[in-house]
Amino acid sequence: MTITFSQPGLLDSLEAQDAAALDVLAFGVIGMTLDGVVTHYNAAESRLAGLLPSNVIGRHFFSAVAPCTNNFLVAHRFETEPTIDDTIDYVFTLRMKPTSVRLRLLKQAGRTHMFLAVERR
Amino acid sequence: MPDSGAGALEELLQFLYLTPVGIVKFAADGAIGLINPMASQLLLPLVPNVALDNLYKSLAPLVPNLRGLVDRFTAKAGAVLEEPRLETRVGGARQVLSLTVTRVNDTVYMAILENVTKLAEQQQEIFADQQRFRAIFDNVRDYAIYTVSLTGVVEEWNRSLQRVGGWEAADVLGHKFAMFFSEADRTASRPAALLTAARKSGSIAAEGWRMKRDGSRFWGDTVITSLPDEMGAVRAFVVVVRDMTLRKRMEDELRLLSTVDPLTGAFNRRHGHARLAEALDRRARSGRPVAVMMLDIDLFKNINDTYGHERGDAVLCALVLTCKATLRTVDMLARWGGEEFVVMLPDTGEKEAMVVAERIRAAMAATPVPADGQGEIAFTVSIGVAVPVTPDVEDVLARADRALYAAKTGGRNRVVLAVAA
């Protein structure tokens, strides 16, 4: 069963996968602890951004990996909302090129991890 | 190392991803070529849901005419726009951005964006502080507030100096603050001593005469406080001077009221007693002589009964005037009660005291007081003179009183010297 960007219950599905399973997905996945430290960084996201998972995992995502998300549209929502499942249009500056993407913000009260899914538009 | 090229590129990417200043490379039509994450972090909230492909579109809320500015820019290269403070609201919060747009050549433009909200807030606080202090300096009454350098040179002028001392900026700026002190204080190097003390203990207060621009003086309470810089070293002082002239005048008046007999202007008994005690202490320490007289108007009750109390009061006042005309300024005259007075003569021995007493007695007898309507009231005084043998005030007073009694029983209008024991 393939996991898709827009399927229902995406947070549950992502949480159940190991790193290798996340790497085969066609869209980017960033998993974080509740305070924003990167725990998962899959191959699709790594290709888009040009960064190796080993250089990203363990860093704070919003301030030390992707500062373009460190505003009230993305980071602020993760920091303040207890539960989110929302898809927004956004622009990443991947390799300094403005790149239109869709972001799916996933967070649920009681869970230990939150996820950001990234799909090119 | 097959991976070194990719590794170096990734390091460069990461460096640009994390650059804390927004950088945008764009073309003359606004098309964004390269943009780093900080620039997008700052731009995206301005116009959400925009593709971030054109800088003019993204900056429209802040600089609606950027395209026009670029079009009209005629130099081959250089700064098209320098905006240190662009205010906006993002997600309900105030945000201040600085923006610089530079033409690199006719096809390449660069924009530098920075979030300067914190800096702007600090500047705003500093500005507000300055305004607050300015308001205080300019509007306090009876206070002058100014700062001086470590060497006492006045560093700033404000309205308070004008209000309290009439000083204008040109009078004080660059001059030593010693000019505000009295000549006596200046001669004694008091201003410099105050700065040294303030430096040592943080703050020092001193009352004294302070100068106004027109050369007149006022009684001022000066508080000097050292101003440490952020490293804790003293770099300057703030001086606050309060015009205390009114208070000083009131204090002087109160002191006068509390020491003087209101009817005659002679000192009152309490003050006379204290002065006498001081003089006897001084005599005990230094051996310098002092003499005491007790003086009483003869048959004063008759004067009151015959001419009335108002004339009696006039006699008391005449006695004091006559005494003061005879006595030196160092001598002290106090009304002891009723028609009884005590005179204290510093640096005066028995023999000279008897001469002074006799002069007073003769002067009284020769100076009658006009009666109501017609005639004059002649009056005489009896005087007992004593020189102390101990520092005990009561002892010398008792001996002078006994001598006075002897003068009365001996026929009045005479001077009697107390016996030694």
- Out of A66, A70, A91, the one facing B52 most closely (by C-beta) is A91
User: Looking at residue B358, what is its pLDDT?
Assistant: 97
In the predicted model, is pLDDT for residue B394 greater than 60? Answer: yes
pLDDT tier at B2 (50, 70, 90 boundaries)?
Answer: very low
Q: Give Cα B321 distance to the centre of its chain.
A: 40
Mean pLDDT of B258-281: 93
User: Looking at residue B93, what is its pLDDT?
Assistant: 86
Residue at token pair 């009561």: B394
**Interatomic CA distance for residues B353 and B297, integer angstroms:** 19
A83 close contact with B: CB closer than 8 A:
no
pLDDT in tens, B310-354: 999 999 999 999 999 999 999 999 999 999 999 999 999 999 999
pLDDT in tens, B274-303: 999 999 999 998 889 999 999 999 999 999
What lies within 8 Å, CB to CB, of B240 at 6+ separation is: B143, B144, B145, B222, B223, B224, B225
What are B299's two structure tokens? 């048959």
Mean pLDDT of B248-269: 88
Lowest mean pLDDT among A17-31, B15-29, B155-169: B155-169
Mean pLDDT of A14-20: 92
- Out of A67, A89, A90, the one facing B17 most closely (by C-beta) is A67
Give which of A46, A52, A93 to mutate to test B binding, by max B Cβ within 10 Å.
A93
Inter-chain residue contact B34 with A96, CB threshold 8 Å: yes
Inter-chain residue contact A72 with B45, CB threshold 8 Å: yes
A43 close contact with B: CB closer than 8 A:
no
Of B325, B341, B397, give the one whose Cα is nearest residue B333. Answer: B341
Contacts of A59 in chain B (CB under 8 A): none
In chain B, which residues touch A (CB < 8 A)? 9-10, 13-14, 16-18, 20, 32, 34-42, 44-45, 48-53, 90-91, 93
CA atoms within 13 A on the CB side of B37: 23
In the predicted model, is pLDDT for residue B268 greater than 50? Answer: yes
Could you give the residue ranges of the DSSP H alpha helices within chain A? 10-16, 19-23, 43-49, 53-56, 75-80
Q: What percent of chain B has pLDDT over 70?
A: 99
Burial of B82 (0-12, 13-18, 19+ CB in 10 A): exposed
Distances (CA, A) of B267 to B255, B321, B332, B342, B388: 11, 13, 8, 10, 21
Q: Which residue has the higher pLDDT, A87 or B47?
A: A87
Beta bridge partners of B34: B25
Inter-chain residue contact A71 with B41, CB threshold 8 Å: yes
B210 within 8 A of B220, measured Cβ to Cβ? yes
Beta bridge partners of A116: A30, A105
A54 close contact with B: CB closer than 8 A:
no
pLDDT in tens, B42-101: 998 888 777 888 999 999 999 999 999 999 999 999 999 999 889 988 878 889 999 999
Q: Is B52 left (phi over 0), alpha (psi -120 to 50) or beta?
A: left
Mean pLDDT of B123-144: 85
In the predicted model, is pLDDT for residue B5 greater than 90? Answer: no
Contacts of A95 in chain B (CB under 8 A): 13
Contacts of B17 in chain A (CB under 8 A): 49, 51, 65-67, 93
pLDDT tier at A24 (50, 70, 90 boundaries)?
Answer: very high
User: Looking at residue B250, what is its pLDDT?
Assistant: 86
Of A54, A33, A48, give the one whose Cα is nearest residue A91. Answer: A48
Contacts of A91 in chain B (CB under 8 A): 40, 44, 50-52
A90 close contact with B: CB closer than 8 A:
yes
User: How far is A80 from chain B, CA to nearest CA, in Å?
Assistant: 13
User: Looking at residue A84, what is its pLDDT?
Assistant: 96
User: Looking at residue B421, what is its pLDDT?
Assistant: 55
Inter-chain residue contact A51 with B9, CB threshold 8 Å: no
pLDDT tier at B3 (50, 70, 90 boundaries)?
Answer: low
User: Looking at residue B4, what is its pLDDT?
Assistant: 59
Inter-chain residue contact A95 with B90, CB threshold 8 Å: no
User: Looking at residue B59, what is its pLDDT?
Assistant: 94
Amino acid at B114: E
pLDDT in tens, A42-67: 999 999 888 999 999 999 999 889 88
User: Looking at residue B185, what is its pLDDT?
Assistant: 92
Give which of A38, A68, A80 to mutate to test B binding, by max B Cβ within 10 Å.
A68
Chain B residue at shortest CA distance from A102: B49
A115 close contact with B: CB closer than 8 A:
no
Secondary structure (3-state) at B221: strand
pLDDT tier at B133 (50, 70, 90 boundaries)?
Answer: confident
In the predicted model, is pLDDT for residue B209 greater than 50? Answer: yes
User: Looking at residue B229, what is its pLDDT?
Assistant: 84
In the predicted model, is pLDDT for residue B1 greater than 70? Answer: no
Q: What is the mean pLDDT of chain B?
A: 91
pLDDT tier at A95 (50, 70, 90 boundaries)?
Answer: confident
User: How far is B106 from chain A, CA to nearest CA, in Å?
Assistant: 21
Among B39-48, B169-178, B365-374, top mean pLDDT goes to B169-178
Predicted TM-score of the model (pTM): 0.55
ipTM over 0.90: no
Inter-chain residue contact A68 with B90, CB threshold 8 Å: no
pLDDT tier at B419 (50, 70, 90 boundaries)?
Answer: confident
- Out of B9, B35, B48, the one facing A93 most closely (by C-beta) is B35
pLDDT tier at B372 (50, 70, 90 boundaries)?
Answer: confident
